[in-house]
Amino acid sequence: MGEGNEGMVAAVAERLNLPRREGAAVRRWPHTSKRLVAAARAPLPRRIAAIEGVSADELIAAAALLSAPLARCLLEARKAAGLHLTIRGRDLLAALLGWRVWRRLR
């Protein structure tokens, strides 16, 4: 189903009587699979951008279409995308107060 036309893919989704979210994933699969397969060869930032909004099932299905090294590259992007650095207001306030204390001690 990776290379099917849109009409055929929509017919499969309709025939399976999938819930809305899963049906939409099946209908966009030809586009999603091409995008993810192409992204597997790209640098990490582009891979991360390509997997944004893609379900784990879609990602694994795309990885199954690839060779083992390219599949690993694609799946590594999922790990890297999960890394988010955040700073809270409390952290900023503590840093600011720490800076003021340090400056006074000088």
Domain-embedded: residue 26: yes
Query: In the prediction, which pLDDT does 103 show?
Result: 65
Q: Which stretches of the chain are DSSP H helices?
A: 6-16, 20-27, 29-39, 44-51, 56-64, 68-81, 89-105
Write out pLDDT tens, residues 17-57: 888 888 888 898 999 999 999 999 999 999 999 998 888 88
92 within some domain: yes
- The total number of structural domains that make up the chain: 1
Q: How far apart are CA 27 and CA 5, in angstroms?
A: 10
54 within a domain of the structure (yes/no): yes
pTM of structure: 0.65
- State the residue for tokens 């800076």: 99
Burial class (CB in 10 A: 0-12, 13-18, 19+), 39: buried
* SS3 category, 1: coil
pLDDT per residue as tens digits for the range 55-103: 888 999 999 999 999 999 999 988 888 765 566 666 666 676 666 665 6
Sequence-distant (6+) residues with CB within 8 A of 27 are: 6, 9, 10, 13
In a domain, 1, yes or no: no
Structural domain range at position 72: 6-105
Residue 85 lies in a domain: yes
Assess if residue 44 is contained within a domain: yes
For residue 19, is it within any domain?
yes
**Does residue 12 lie within any of the structural domains?**
yes
